[in-house]
Amino acid sequence: MNGALVLTGLLLIAVGAAMMVFPLRVRSYVPPRQWRQDPERAERRQVRRARAIGGLIAVGFGCPALLAGLVL
């Protein structure tokens, strides 16, 4: 068991989960112009993109790091 990889995996899973739960509290993935022109559409796009990126971080990077840490 590699403790550093396990902790890295857990951290990435936590960061990804936080992005998925609070998509409007993370970095804006929508251009400022779109927020001014159509705020409702920009909000929907922000939620979609933040959840997708959060899922990628949690599942794509966090889970493999956690599994590698447990196996190695």
Q: Average of pLDDT values for 54-61?
A: 98
Per-residue pLDDT reduced to its tens digit, 8-45: 999 999 999 999 999 999 999 999 999 999 999 999 99
Residue 55: which pLDDT band, with cuts at 50, 70 and 90?
very high
- Number of domains making up the chain: 1
- Structural domain including 57 reads 3-71
Alpha-carbon gap, residue 12 to 50, rounded angstroms: 15
* The model's pTM: 0.88
